[in-house]
A and B are shown apart, each in its own frame.
Chain A
């Protein structure tokens, strides 16, 4: 099951915990992977670890020109982009009343607008080949909200609405667009939380633990597969039961 041999996947934020796991899972299923991120060093290390069928494609997602160029670069490196995983994301938390325009805009730009640009950029190739998979990594916070994360929650909820709209438009062309909404996953992003915050969160998770990046990657692998061809416009919540949506 879940054989991606011959498929080429572009993963953004591949230098991070979840993105790296996603790239490994897709690569492990036989896909060629394009590893995108801002920091070249961890991307190179991941590519070296994966060996064949891995390409490093550095890109600063806050740079519109660089984002618009990325799908073409990826297609040139790999031959095509059959699977796009919009995983990259940043947080700039602040209480709503203190949130600056810059904090708002930078999170919307990197998390939501770059997703729009990349989806648009890969669509032509997917339309022509009558096959495509887009998986947008949203967040539980996009569905539930979270104090201090008005910008992040807006961007992540925006990704879900955008995914559904695009899913409508391209379903007849064999292209699916879905979202995965992780709950609290043990990564550098959640490491920033202090112990009090962590234990508070843990009490709200029926599974009683944080999730692992591999558990998110498994959901992405499914949605990227041929087996998921009838699943589109869906949001797969992977959160240990923290919010049963």
Chain B
């Protein structure tokens, strides 16, 4: 069939497999990120990839994924600590740290005019993913589903009212930190394929769209995952035939769906 002609190429097959793993993962994660109003937080986290990579390059670590993950985990825990201190408006502080980490990363990576070597990190390249890396992503998906089954109720409760969650014996600090560490790891492991500039859109858009039309948690997750997978597959196919980068196409599809659900809510719900 004409439409699936792109599957004749191995790199497209791999890309499709990767999309089929990454998108449900992001659809799921996004639900709680939106619930907890952490859109800006996860954005800052994505930006910290620069610093993580720079640190790896600086210390000559062969696999910069390791340094990226380590830095992101530390960064996430720090941001989370700030988020819960009500001293300064937390979005301002997150913004400061986000800018700082981007600046440090760019400064180091652009030494001797070498930045073009790393610019692929900005938009990502899902077409370059290998079979081994796909299996890695699959493992993360499984871990996330298990984590969700164990921790979702608690995290959901914390997002709605922390004091109430605490009074119910839910381990607030533990779950909250475990969650941001998980987000940090997933963002860093997928950022090479998705890109710093659009990774947050993929986390937020499907959940935000699902929120417009869902009335309970089951619907919320189902819609979010469905919208995410649909945008991923359609975006990938469109990128092939239109000869555009896959990531941006995917975000475009998800954005259109967001606006459709937004209108649907206004028309039918109120």
- Chains A and B come from one and the same complex: no
